[in-house]
Structure 1
Amino acid sequence: HGVFGAAAAASRLMRLPERETLMALSLAGSHASGTTEYTIGGGDIKRFHAGMGAAGGIRSARAAACGMTGPATILEGKRGILQAFSDHPDPKALVDGLGTQWALMQTEVKPYTVCGLLNGQIDALRSIMKEHSIQVDDIAKIIVGGDRFAMTHVGSIGPRPKTIIEAQFSTHFSLAMSAVLGANDFSAYHAMAKENFEHAGVCELARRIEMVLDPDLEARYPDISKATVTAVTKGGRKLYGEGFCFRELPQEEVESKFRKLVDGTLTPEQARGIMETIANMETIEKVTGLTGLLVRGK
C-alpha cells in the first residue's frame, strides 16, 4: 500500500491544503492493491508494484489538486481499505505514533536478491556451513523451520521454479543456490535463468530441502520474524542455525550491493556520484542534481 505514502509525499511537495490532501489519500485508496499471487502463480508483476504505487500516489495528488474528490472514510469506512484487507481491522493503529514515529526510517535493505523472508534462512545456512566447515557434498538434507506466513510465501513454490521471480521466492531453490554457488545476488539468478533453472547441482540439493511449520516461530509471529535451519550431514550430524528475516545492513554492504546492481548500466563515476549526492541530499537545491546522474551510459 505504498500508494498512500506516495500520495502523502506528493501532496506535501505540491503544498496541497488539508482538504485536497485528504482527497489525495482518498483517491489513492482506489489504487491500492499489490496481491502476492505471483509467489504461487509466477510472473514479473512483482517488479512493477513499487512503481505502480508511486505513480498512483502522484496521480491521486494531481487529481485532488484539480478538484477530484473521494470518500473521506476510505481507510476506516465499512467498505474501506481496512475492511477489504483485514479480517480484524484496527483503525487506531493508523495514528499510533503519528508525527513522532517515521516508518520510512525502518526501511531495510536486503542483503540478498530474494524475498525478505529468505534472508534469515540463507544467513543461517551460511553460518552453519562456515562454522562447521562442511561442503555441499557433506549435506544429506536440509530442514527449514518457519511461521505460516513464510510457509505460504516462500515454501510453496518448491525446488523447480520456472521464472526468476519464482526462484527468488523459493526456499528450496534459493538455499540450494547459496550452498552450491555461494551466491544469491542479481547476476546469480539471471545465470540460473539462462540454464532454465536446471543447474544440476542446485536442483539436486533443492530436492533434499524441506520446509516445516515451526510452532515456536508461529507463536511469535509477527512480533519476531526469523527462520531455523537444520543441516543433516551424511554422517548423521544435525547442525542447527537460525537467522532473522530482517536485519540492518552495514553501510559498506549497502554501497557494495548498489555498485553490483548498477554495474554495466551506469559508469563507476555515475555510481560514485549518486552515492555522494544521496549522502548529502539535505544540501542539494534541486533534485536534478540527482536525476541527471541516472541517465544510462552518460
Structure 2
Amino acid sequence: MSGQIAAADAPLLVQLAHHLQRPVDEATRQRARLHLLDWLACVAGARQAAVKPFAFDANIASTAALLGNVLEMDDVHRLGRLHPGPVVWCSIVADYEAGLDAWLDAAVRGYEAMIGVGATFDDWHYAHFHPTSTAGLFGAAAAVASLQECDVSETAHALGLAGSVTGGLWQMRHEDTMAKQWHVANAMVSGGSTAVWARRGMTGPLSLLEGPQGLYAATCRAPKPMLFGPGWRIEEVSFKPWAACRHAHPVIDCALELRAAGRLAAPFHVETYADALAFCDKPHPTTDVEAKFSLQHAVAVIADGRNATPADFTPEAITALAPLRRQVTVAEDPAITARYPAHFGARLNGLELVDCRGDPERPVTEADIIAKMHMLANWGGLPPSEADRAADLALHGNDAAAVVAMLDKWLK
C-alpha cells in the first residue's frame, strides 16, 4: 500500500485515502484493543435487550451491530459527536478469517475515516442528521478496505460509494423506535460492502464531500476543514462510564463529585450547553430510552445513591425516581455552550466540570474498562468467566477467530 501524500488540491476523499495508508504503530494498536474490549462489553450487556429478536438471521456482525449501541455506553468522539465503536467493530467482525493484528489496523483506519469526516460536519448537520450514521458508512468502508488490502484508488472509490448513499435523520428521537440501532447495522452493511465492490473495480464519486451536489452541499451550511494530523484520531475518543446519553454524562459526573463530598442535596439546578437541553431535557421520561436521554433522571439516579448502570434506567427506576426528578431544573449556560463540542461540560448546584471521566483529559484505565466488561456481562446474563475471557482475548490475544467464536456463543 502506498504511503504517498496526496496533493492538497486532490478531492478530500483521495486525500483521506492516502492518509489511511500509513502503517499503524504498536502503541495505537494497544489503544485499539481497549476499544475492542469496550465494544465487546456493550454487546455483552445488550444481549438480552428487546432489540435482539429483530436480529433475524445468524450473522454475528449484524446482530452485534444492532446491540452495540443499545445501552448508550459505546465510545464517543466529541468533535464529531459520533460513536465509532459500534459501526467499526461490527464491520471488522464480519471478516472472521482475518488475524487480530489486521483487525486492529482496520479499526484504527475505520475510526480515522469516520472521525475525519464526522468532525467536518457543522451544527446544522447535527441538528438534523445522526453523525454516527452519516459518517459511519465512511468508517465501515475504510475498515473493510484495510482488511481487503485496498490501495489508495480502491479506498477512495469505496469512500465515495459509501458517502453516496449515506444518511440518517434525527426524527427517530421523537418517536419510540429502534432506528438508532438500525443506523449502525445499515452503516456496517452498506459502508462495508463498498470496499468489496471497489476491489472489483466499482468506482465512486471522489468529490462526494465537497462537490456541488455532494454531502456538504446537502447537509451542511459551514463545513469544517478536514484534518490530517501525524497521529491517529482513535486517541481522541472518549469511553463512556455510564449507561446514558453522552449529553447526560457531564451532569452525572458533577452529581457524583457532589455526592462524594457530601454536598448533593435538593433542589438541583443544572446548567449546561444547548445541545444537552435539545437532546436531554426530559423531566417526565416514560421509557428506558427516554430515561437515558433525561438530565433530570440522570441527577435523580445519583441523588438516590445509584451509579448510572443499566438497572437505573428501567421502568422500575423511572417510577421510583419521579419525586427526585421533580426537584431538578435545567438551563443553558452560554459559556458552557461556547466550549462545546470540544468540551462537554455542566454545572450542578454551583459545581462545574469542563470535561468528563472517560475523556482523554480525564482518562479511564484499563482496569476501569475491564470492570465495565464485568458489570455489563453480568447485566447481560453472562458469568464472570466470560468477562475474563473477553478481556484476555481483546487485550492480550492474537486470535480473531476466537473472538468471533465467543460472540457466536453470546448471541445464539
TM-score tier (shorter):
0.7 to 0.9
Within the candidate set 231, 236, 247, 1:106 is matched to 236
1:147–1:214 CA contact under 8 A, matched in 2: yes
Aligned partner (choices 326, 330, 333) of residue 207 of structure 1: 326
Q: 1:80 to 1:101 in 2, by over 3 A?
A: farther
Q: Find 1:124's aligned residue among 225, 240, 254.
A: 254
Counterpart residue type for residue 222 of structure 1: P
Which structure features the higher share of helix residues?
2
Q: Where in structure 2 are the equivalents of 1:60-79 lying within 5 Å?
A: 60-79=194-213
1:8 aligns with 2:142: yes
How many corresponding residue pairs?
Answer: 272
Number of the residue aligned with 1:96: 228
Match of 1:47 among 181, 185, 189: 181
| 2:180 maps to amino acid | K
Q: Which residue of 2 aligns with 1:223?
A: 342
User: Where does 1:109-258 land on structure 2 (aligned, <5 Å)?
Assistant: 109-134=239-264, 138-139=265-266, 141-155=267-281, 158-189=282-313, 192-193=314-315, 195=316, 197-199=318-320, 202-230=321-349, 240-242=351-353, 244-245=355-356, 246=359, 247-258=362-373
Instruction: Assess, with a 3 A threshold, how the Cα gap between structure 1 residues 183 and 172 changes in structure 2: closer, same or farther.
Output: same
Contact 2:306 2:312 in 1 (8 A): no
Whether the aligned pair in 1 keeps the contact of 2:343 and 2:354 (CA below 8 Å) is no
Question: Residues 265 and 297 of structure 1 are in contact (CA less than 8 Å); yes or no, is this contact kept in structure 2?
Answer: no
Normalized per residue, which structure has more strand? 1
Would you say the 8 A contact 2:250–2:345 is kept in 1? yes
CA distance in 1, matches of 2:332, 2:153: 48
Kindly indicate whether the alpha-carbon contact (under 8 Å) linking 2:251 and 2:298 is maintained by their aligned counterparts in 1.
Answer: no
Deviating more after overlay: 76-85 vs 202-211: 76-85
CA distances 1:202-232 after superposition (whole Å, capped 9, x unpaired): 11121221111102112222332211111xx
Aligned AA (1:242):
L
TM-score, reference length from structure 1: 0.82
TM-fit CA distance, 1:11: 0.8
| 3-state SS of 1:122 partner | helix
Quote the Cα distance in structure 1 between the aligned partners of 2:298 and 2:233.
29
Question: Take 1:244 and 1:289, find their aligned partners in 2: how far apart are those partners?
Answer: 37
Q: Which residue of 2 aligns with 1:292?
A: 405
Q: Measure, in 1, the Cα distance between the counterparts of 2:299 and 2:165.
A: 35
Residue 243 of structure 1, CA deviation: 5.3
Give the deviation of 1:296 after TM superposition: 2.1
Amino acid at match of 1:101: G
2: CA distance between counterparts of 1:217 and 1:241? 10
Aligned partner of 1:184: which letter? A
Q: Which of the two has higher C-alpha Rg?
A: 1
Provide the C-alpha distance between the structure 1 equivalents of 2:190 and 2:231, rounded to a whole number of angstroms.
24
Counterparts of 2:291 and 2:278 in 1: how far apart (Å)? 15
State which drifts further: 42-51 or 160-169.
42-51
Q: 1:107 to 1:50 in 2, by over 3 A?
A: farther
Contact preservation (8 Å) 1:119, 1:243: no
From the superposition, tell whether residues 119 and 58 of structure 1 become closer, same or farther in structure 2 (CA, over 3 Å).
same
One of 391, 394, 407 as aligned partner of 1:275:
391
Q: Deviations over 1:129-182 (max 9, x none)?
A: 221355xxx51x211111112221222xx2211222211111011221221251
Flag the 1:292–1:109 CA change in 2: closer, same or farther, 3 A: same
CA distance in 1, matches of 2:388, 2:221: 47
Whether contact under 8 Å (2:272, 2:332) holds in the other structure is yes
Compute the RMSD of aligned alpha carbons. Answer: 2.3
Counterparts of 2:202 and 2:376, CA distance in 1: 40
Give me the whole-angstrom Cα distance separating, in 1, the residues matched to 2:270 and 2:155: 46
- Measured against aligned partners, the alpha-carbon deviations of 1:24-60 in whole angstroms (never above 9, x if no partner) come to 1011113422333344434232233333322222111
What corresponds to 1:236 in structure 2? none
Contact 1:83/1:89, CA 8 A, preserved across alignment: no
Matched residue SS, 2:329: strand
Partners of 2:211 and 2:339 in 1: how far apart? 30
Code of the aligned partner of 1:103: R
Structure 1 runs not aligned, ≥5 long: 231-238
Deviation, 1:74, is 0.8
State the structure with bigger RCO (CA 8 A, min sep 6), 1 or 2: 2
